[in-house]
Amino acid sequence: MSEKIRVLISEEDVQKRIEALGEQISKDYEGKTVHIIGILKGGAYMMIDLSKRINVPVTLDFMSVSSYGNGTVSKGIVKIVKDLDEPLEGKDVLIVEDIIDTGRTLHHLKELLYARKPASIRLCTLLDKPDRRVVDDVNVDYCGFRIPDEFVVGCGLDYAQKYRNLPYIGVVELNED
């Protein structure tokens, strides 16, 4: 079996949208420091691009949360692989994800982080698949693109650890060889 990648969102469109998100976040956090939590591995790509476009003070931390393994469908089991290095109490937190699908991972993560007493928590994602949502209380504050229910790669998103480095969003099309 081989994979073919079809471009869904061009590199230029991705960069323009991230720039617009950075401008909006800068306005919304004016006078504050935004503490960005990048969700590894894929969210690191979005976090780095986005943080360069935010004009207010930024602090960074990372967390690794897994719910996929090597498959293309979320298993619904959320595992914390790497926790934060810094406490959150009193901080204005912005969680940055590559994609929100069922919402299970973010639902679990927000519950965990709210218990750490931040001043606020907002959510930013490059991609949102609202048609796949099974958890209702995951509200996206900053969304790059809403996309159809297709398995996508690029800009941090992978298929079995491949294709994260693509500068565009592509759809994986599996071919029988």
Active-site residues, by number, are 101
Angle at alpha carbon of residue 99, lines to 49 and 138, rounded to 5°: 115
Task: Return the bridge partners of 173, or none.
Answer: 4
**Phi, psi at 38, each rounded to 5°:** -90, 130
What torsion do the CA atoms of 81, 160, 107, 51 make, to the nearest 10 degrees?
Answer: 80
Q: Which residue, 152, 36, 25, is CA-closest to 99?
A: 152
The answer to whether 34 and 54 have CB atoms below 8 angstroms apart is yes
CB-CB contact of 39 with 156 (8 Å)? no
The torsion angles phi and psi of 114, rounded to 5 degrees, stand at -60, -30
